[in-house]
Structures are given as C-alpha cells and as structure tokens.
Chains A and B, each alone.
Chain A
Amino acid sequence: MAFIKEFGCWLPIRAVTSEEAGSWVGADSTWVKNVSGIEERRFATDEDMVADLAARAGNDCLQRAGMQGKDLGMVMVASGSGERTFPGPACVAAQKMGASGVPALDLTMASAGSLFGISLAARLAAQLGPILVIGAEKMSRIVAREPQERGVAVLFGDGAGACLITADSGKAEIVDSVLNTDGSFSEDLTLECDRPIKMNGRSVILQASRKIPAAIRSLLEQYSIDPPDVLAFLMHQANQNLIDRVADALGVPSAKFFSNIRKYGNTSSASMLIAAAEWSREFGFEPGEPVVFAAFGAGFNWGALLARGV
C-alpha cells in the first residue's frame, strides 16, 4: 500500500506570451492558441539548471509535507532536458534539498517520466521509505536550438512539479497503475544532443489520442469504475486539443480534466505534477473518490494511475 502525501511545484517568473513565441517562427498568437490552447509559457533564467528547478519544486513539496530532505528514502527526478548525459539532475537536486546520501534516480523519459516515477515509488516506498518524485524541465534551452520548427518551438515551457509518496499515510491511496512502452515509434519523437526536438506531430497525436483513453479505460475497468464517476483526471499537459479528445473518447466533460496548459505550455515530465499541485490546492482529493493520472510521451511510453482520496 502506498499514499500520495503531498504535491509541490515551482514555476519561473518570466512569462513568454504566444505572441512573442510565435514571432520566432512566423506564427500569430491566434494560431498558437487554436492548435494548442497555449497563451503563455514560463522561461527560467539562463543561470537556472534543471536540478535547480527540481530542487525548488521538491522543497515546496517537502515543506508542505512538514518533512526534510534527510527524511527521504529515495529521490527520483524525471527530465528529458537535462544539460548533460551524466550525471543527471537527480543527484544535484537531492544535494540541494539536503538529501545527500539518499539514493537519487534519474528517469530520462520526458513526458511520461513522472507517471512512471510515481508508479515505481508506490511499489518501493514500503522498502525504502518516503520517495520524492520530481518532474523538472528547462525546455526553453531546447526550443531555442536552430532550426526552430513552427509546430514545436511554441509548445514548450519550463517548470517543475513534485509528489511525495509514502507507505503509511497521505491524502490519497495509490490503488493501481498501468504502464506501457512501444519502441516501434521511438523515432517519432526524439531529442539528440545539441539538436532541436524532432517530432512527427501527426503520429504523436494519433497514438496519444488512442492510447491514453485505452490505458485509462483498462485501468478503471479492473475496478468497475465508469469514467464519469472519476472525480478528476490529472493528465500530462501536452495540448488542450488532445486533452479534450481524451475526455471525449472517455465520455466525460473536459471540465473533469484539470488544465493549466494555457498558462504554462507543455512542460513535459513536469506538467502532470504541476497540474496535480495546482488542482490539489484549488480542489483536492475527497474521501473514497477516484482520481486518475495519465501521461504519454517519447518512446512511446504511456500509462495511467488510479488513486482514491483518503
């Protein structure tokens, strides 16, 4: 048994409008909003590293939980935008949170990394102690790479989210999860060293719009839960149109899918946890009510996780 004890997040101060981002690639802000739902995204400073963002979100989460870095049994940092191949940001983030000596694991999976991290943490927390799962991305560094593509440069933002998983108590019990990987499509979304993101948008949207609802449905069916009976869906914030499609496929109103993509853009592995942190503060778990997390990303990796409010 494992529980979600707390969420945390950190967003940079600098807001970049879709008018500004669109100007880099000759796109107007109306087009950006129509194809993605994004009006603004946040960009970190040049000095900020992914580990800095991760540590700030992690500290926010720890502070809200009344815990310290030294209390942790493990730190996981999901990120696809780390500045170097190794070491990844996890060890530096752990050190910055006062968790030196605590094992720190990097999940270099991009968008689905936080979901996979929570799922793994739920299985490990009883053995290792509290596990802090962080998703942190500095995508501004990536989208600045030439040549900038119209369909990519305007989508992404920087930020970090965090989730504390414990074995004993929390706001919600983690009931179960389904995780999937299919490397057949690994070339459809890639990021190579010092190169821009390469994305076959049609394939990504096509796969995601089918696989996410299927994963959610298969998970809920195991527990005889109808999608409309779910309190809230906390999904990777990739694109508002995709979120709406997934909601439609499941037969639930889009309003059940918490969305903040308008403000932050696609922050890859961080997005689901930033959304969860904001949802938790604005709405929150209710006793016995199911909440579903879902993500899809490069690999392709995707899945869903079911939690119930305590």
Chain B
Amino acid sequence: MDRRAKLIEIIQKVSKQDTIPGPDESLFESGLLDSFGLPDLISAMEKEFGIQVPDSDLNPRKFDTIERIEEYLDSRN
C-alpha cells in the first residue's frame, strides 16, 4: 500500500467515515476532522510512518489536507 493510500486509511479510521477526501480538500471544512480528531490523526501517523512530530510542528494548517500532510512527511525524510 502506498503512502497516500495509508493516509486515506488513517483519515477514514480517525473520522469513522468512508469518504475519500480529495488531495487538496480541507479535512476540517469537509467535516472529516474536528479539533479532537487531529491529535488522533497525528498519533496514528507517528505510529504508521515511524516519526515523532515535535510540539513545534503541531500547527493544524500543516495537516489540513492530504497534500499538506504529504509535504510535511516529505520534509521529515
């Protein structure tokens, strides 16, 4: 499974919805993520991709769309 597919799987699990968000679709505005879903998303990403997101990177904008999340993950590689 490629990274995007894994991300979508995580988002679906956290949001408890089967919706597949578009790459640039806001996860907040679409209702897939709320304030309490975001920490769950980041924790799941940390586990799945073997990274530790430092507190200084905990800016909701970095995780608002699949593309932004991928940009963040690229910056960590």
Contacts and interface: CB of A to CB of B under 8 A. Distances in A.
Interface in B26-77: 28, 34-36, 38-39, 42, 55-56, 58-60
A205 B35 contact: yes
A210 B36 contact: no
A207 B28 CA distance: 17
A168 B38 CA distance: 46
A245 B59 CA distance: 19
Given A209-B39, A245-B36, A245-B39, A203 B56 contact: no
B30 to A, nearest CB: 14
Interface in B8-37: 28, 34-36
Contact of B36 (A182, A205, A207, A211): A205
Chain A interface main SS type: helix
Contact of A182 (B38, B39, B55, B60): B55
B35 A201 contact: yes
A196 to B, nearest CB: 19
B55 A211 contact: yes
A49 B38 CA distance: 38
Contacts of A84: none
A73 B42 CA distance: 46
B56 A206 contact: no
A85 interface: no
Contacts of A224: none
A222 interface: no
A242 B60 CA distance: 17
Contact of A210 (B28, B35, B39, B59): B39
A49 to B, nearest CB: 33
B28 A206 contact: no
A184 interface: yes
Contacts of A207: 55, 58
A203 B35 CA distance: 8
Kindly name the residue among B42, B55, B56 whose own CB sees the greatest number of chain A CB atoms within 10 A: B55
Nearest to B41: A206
Interface string A194-219: 00000011111111011100000000
Interface string A239-253: 001100100000000
Contacts of B35: 201-202, 204-206
Contacts of A200: 60
Contacts of A241: 36
Interface of A: 35, 182, 184, 200-207, 209-211, 241-242, 245
20 contacts: A35-B34, A182-B55, A202-B28, A203-B59, A203-B60, A205-B35, A205-B36, A206-B35, A206-B39, A206-B42, A206-B58, A206-B60, A207-B58, A209-B36, A210-B39, A210-B58, A241-B36, A242-B36, A245-B36, A245-B39
